[in-house]
Amino acid sequence: MQFIDLLSQKDRIRAALLHRIEGILDRGQFIMGPEVTELESRLASYVGSQHCISCSSGTDALLMPLLAKGVGPGDAVLTTPFTFVATAEVISLAGATPVFVDVKPDTFNMDPDLVGYAIDDAVQRGLKPKALIPVDLFGLPADYDRIVAVADAYRLWILEDAAQSFGGSYKERKAGSFGLVGATSFFPAKPLGCYGDGGAIFTDDSDLDMLLRSIRVHGSGADKYSNDRIGINGRLDSIQAAVLLEKLTIFDDELAARQRIAESYTRRLHCRVVVPRIPEHYRSAWAQYSVLASSAEEREQFIDALQKEGVPTMIYYKTPLHLQKAYDFLGYKAGDFPVSEELSSRIFSLPMHPYLKEEEIEQICSVLLRT
């Protein structure tokens, strides 16, 4: 059994994708070809934002807005410690300091009630709080009603880390559209993934759009060889754009399948483990289906029993970022973010992809129910 099955998906798009790739080979425009422009306009309308800037990875999609907004040394950017390292890493790469805010125990997303404490913490460290990076963990958008209110109160701008939530939504709004700017990832294992690295940035701010397009190509000015600012090589290549265009044609169907699979897991497992809670009016993109065991020991028993039956599992995330060696220099200690620490000791993720069969779900659940 696969944790994520990309091969069944490939069979659905293979012929059309090969046709597109052949066109790219014949035209020879491998970087920023017409596929990239077509993809950006499709993605912008999907998310409902004015601008989409495609780029080389989800990490660069997070980094570039920080560079564009001039975030740097002496600035604090608030995010959660219960996320993939890239979320905090980009803050450090920009020269600023990550200041962590713990997550809510039920949604695993940033707790808006704790933002004020993190602001005080940042100020005590002599930092200027500038921005917030809420993460839409496992595909579920964060609590933007309250996060936006708190960000406005403290005059922070929001960079939504929608790396895992492309396709998710809250009320009528799609993930990627909640902040001043949103960033997503097209890493192959993501709900919408390409066949390599890729990412995209979304914004309604036209000035920011222009700056991001410049930063994406080494800070280019009027032409490629005039450089107005410091940038990066952050472009998406034409073949990855072609892959994404083809995958977009089946994406809503795949999202519906993920939703069905999540419901099927929840129906069977809610009496044995803590299943994901999706608050009213939210839709998750189900990048992961993550459950909580009652203890670290029980998690080990579940994982061992599943492994014996050939069922792969993953632990996202075993160590919260404030306890990672790379962030020793921030001076955090165990106990500082109790919810993230508790989740790290009990969480594990089950296979989740649109091609998971009902009998596979049945098998996975029966192992958990009898363990």
To 10 degrees, the CA torsion angle through 349, 351, 353, 358?
-130
Least CB distance from residue 206 to ligand PLP, whole Å?
A: 25
Which window, 83-91, 224-232, 248-256, 335-343, contacts ligand PLP (CB under 6 A)? 83-91
**Residues contacting ligand PLP: total by CB under 6 A:** 15
Q: How far is CA 230 from the centre of its chain?
A: 26
Note whether 88 binds ligand PLP by CB under 6 A: no
Cα distance between residue 141 and residue 173, in whole Å: 10
Cα distance between residue 212 and residue 223, in whole Å: 15
Question: Under a CB-based contact definition with an 8 Å cutoff, are residues 231 and 220 in contact?
Answer: yes
CB-closest chain residue to ligand PLP: 58
Binding characters for ligand PLP, 128-157, by CB under 6 A (x = yes): -------x----------------------
Note whether 187 binds ligand PLP by CB under 6 A: yes
Among 97, 164, 240, 344, binds ligand PLP (CB under 6 A): 164
Cα distance between residue 205 and residue 27, in whole Å: 33
Q: Based on CB atoms, which residue is closest to ligand PLP, 200 or 368?
A: 200
Among 161, 237, 246, 341, binds ligand PLP (CB under 6 A): 161
For β-strands 173-174 and 128-133, DSSP reports them as: unpaired
Cβ–Cβ contacts within 10 Å for residue 230, how many? Answer: 9
Cα distance between residue 340 and residue 104, in whole Å: 8
Among 79, 109, 169, 185, binds ligand PLP (CB under 6 A): 185
Among 199, 234, 276, 320, binds ligand PLP (CB under 6 A): 199
Cα distance between residue 333 and residue 16, in whole Å: 52
Q: Going edge to edge, which strands form the sheet with 282-283?
A: 173-174, 169-170, 282-283
Note whether 288 binds ligand PLP by CB under 6 A: no
Note whether 347 binds ligand PLP by CB under 6 A: no
Note whether 167 binds ligand PLP by CB under 6 A: no
Binders in 16-75 for ligand PLP, by CB under 6 A: 57-59
Query: What is the longest distance spanned by two Cα atoms in the chain?
Result: 65
Among 17, 36, 47, 86, binds ligand PLP (CB under 6 A): 86
Binders in 224-243 for ligand PLP, by CB under 6 A: none
Cα distance between residue 232 and residue 218, in whole Å: 5
Query: Computed over its alpha carbons, how large is the radius of gyration of the chain?
Result: 21
Least CB distance from residue 196 to ligand PLP, whole Å?
A: 10
Q: Which residues bind ligand PLP (CB under 6 A)?
A: 57-59, 83-84, 86-87, 135, 161, 163-164, 185, 187, 197, 199
